[in-house]
A = this chain, B = another copy of it.
Amino acid sequence: MSDIIERLFQVIQDRRTADPLNSYVASLQQAGLNRILEKVEEESVEVVTAAKDAVISQDTSDVVKETADLWFHSLVMLDCLGETPTSIFTELERRFGISGIAEKQSRKN
């Protein structure tokens, strides 16, 4: 199921050149990098307020939605810069992969 990230990124790439009136992704790409970065930040602070509220309400559903929004807008940003989620996976693999130092440290812990 984790391949939803790649499938979602494919959707984002397909929509990039769609009609901005019909596609949110296309409207973001047309608005440009600053607007996309502002959305990334907007979603990240919504994660923060949702997380603080979840401690009180014991309901994490908004945290899930806002984190999904944050990851989604991260992907739009990557596409805007000609990057891909594969690069992020490779970087995380490099740091935390099975044969990596981090994993060895983890086994020590």
Closest chain-B Cβ to A38's Cβ sits at a distance in Å of 6
B102 and A11 contacting across the interface, CB-CB below 8 Å: yes
Complex partner residue of A64 from B83, B97, B106, CB under 8 angstroms: B83
- Copy number in the complex reads 4
Question: What are some 30 contacts across the A-B interface (CB < 8 A)?
Answer: A1-B86, A1-B90, A2-B5, A2-B6, A2-B89, A4-B89, A4-B97, A7-B97, A7-B98, A14-B109, A15-B106, A22-B108, A23-B109, A33-B51, A34-B49, A37-B48, A41-B44, A45-B45, A45-B48, A48-B48, A51-B81, A52-B52, A54-B81, A60-B83, A64-B87, A64-B88, A64-B91, A67-B78, A68-B91, A71-B74
